Amino acid sequence: MLTKLATDNLVEVDNVNFAYDSRQILKGVNLAIRRGQVVAIMGLSGCGKTTLLRLIGGALRPSAGEVRVGGRAVAKLSHDELFALRRKMGMLFQFGALFTDMSCYDNVAFQMREHTDLPEELIDDLVLMKLQAVGLRGAHQLMPSELSGGMARRVALARTTALDPMLIMYDEPFAGLDPVSMGVIGQLIRRLNDSLGATSIIVTHDVAEALQLVDYVYFMSDGMIVTQGTPDELRASDKPFVHQFVHGEMDGPMPFHYPAEDYGRDLFAGKA
């Protein structure tokens, strides 16, 4: 099981490579996340952020290198050990991934019912408490299809933290939300992390929200960590890539134009 270690790194990604079908997605990624931190992993779509999360969760195995959670290599765990580890982790999927065939209440109660022998009355109290923490106790009878995007995301958050996980991972938690919901989710992430004494990893490309919220940022591009630092350091950074990302510039290291022939030649060439 997970033991208290001298180091207070909860998650260590050690020189990890990952390839899928001969496509290199991660090329030598190194990062360490300390307990209690809220860390953001940012980058453009397709840079490998979500793959990294799935490696930490044990859904994928690295082709080289090691991913350690609590000092133990995730890829080497037995089936039972992996499932035991997952009970201490929570993952919030993009758009929530609530089970559409059961109510919000049942969604939040799901892990409690599956993994514990708690009596229904106790589960009832716990579920309502979790929903209260995200402000949706009144909606507990609704079905996921009856919720707005932001509400669904919040219920999913309640579900993710149902068993008080020590590591919470968020896959694009701000995607597609209105500004108010974004602010709410951001605040909830911070509040839950601190009240549970947990560690949070947020994968996102929403710069404004993330920089306000997190303790540390890792920047990925093309399968590698290109830069890292605290939000203030990144805001002040003059590295062209970081600058383009943080300030949302149209053109820079990440080109605006998709590679193409010379414009003039294309215009005057006539149809082939």
| 146 versus 178: smaller Cβ distance to other proteins | 146
Q: Looking at residues 80 to 119 of the shown chain, list those that interact with other proteins (rule: CB under 8 A).
A: 83-84, 86-87, 89-91, 93-95, 97-103, 110-111, 114-115
Nearest to 204 by CA among 218, 215, 190: 218
x-marked contacts with other proteins along 45-84 as a string, rule CB under 8 A: ------------x-x-----------------------xx
Binding of residue 142 to other proteins (CB under 8 A): no
Q: Among residues 58 and 223, whose Cβ is nearest to other proteins? A: 58
- Residue 95 or residue 241: which is nearer to other proteins going by CB? 95
Label the pairing between strands 216-221 and 38-43: parallel
CB of 269 to other proteins, least distance (A): 30
Sequence-ordered strand ranges (E) for the chain: 9-20, 23-34, 38-43, 64-69, 72-73, 89-92, 167-171, 199-204, 216-221, 224-229
Min. distance of Cβ 55 from other proteins in angstroms?
Answer: 13
Q: How many Cβ atoms sit within 10 Å of the Cβ of residue 62? A: 22
Give the nearest distance from C-beta 123 to other proteins in angstroms. 15
User: Structure tokens of 71?
Assistant: 């000092």
**Which structure tokens are listed for 261?**
């022939």
- Give me the least distance between CB of 8 and other proteins, in Å please: 24
Residue 210: name the closest of 235, 192, 227 by CA: 235
- Minimum gap (Å) between residue 129 Cβ and other proteins: 19
Alpha carbons 33 and 218: distance in angstroms, whole number: 10
Cα dihedral 145, 147, 148, 149, rounded to 10, equals -70
Rounded-to-integer distance, Cα 148 and Cα 199, Å:
28
User: Is 20 or 83 the residue whose CB approaches other proteins more closely?
Assistant: 83
- Buried b / exposed e over 124-144, threshold 16 CB at 10 Å, is eebbbebbebbebbebbebeb
Q: Count the residues of the shown chain that bind other proteins, applying the rule CB under 8 A.
A: 24
Smallest distance, other proteins to C-beta of residue 255, A:
28
Residue with tokens 């909860």: 10
Task: Scan residues 185-244 and list those touching other proteins (CB under 8 A).
Answer: none
Closer residue to other proteins, CB minimum distance, 83 or 247: 83
Instruction: Give the residue with the Cβ less far from other proteins, 2 or 84.
Output: 84
Q: Considering beta carbons, is residue 94 or 244 the nearer one to other proteins?
A: 94
Closest contact distance (angstroms) between CB of 12 and other proteins is 20
Residue type, 52: L
- Give the length of the chain: 272
Q: How many angstroms separate the CA atoms of 123 and 114, rounded?
A: 11
Minimum Å distance from CB 186 to other proteins?
21
What are the residues binding other proteins (CB under 8 A)?
Answer: 57, 59, 83-84, 86-87, 89-91, 93-95, 97-103, 110-111, 114-115, 143
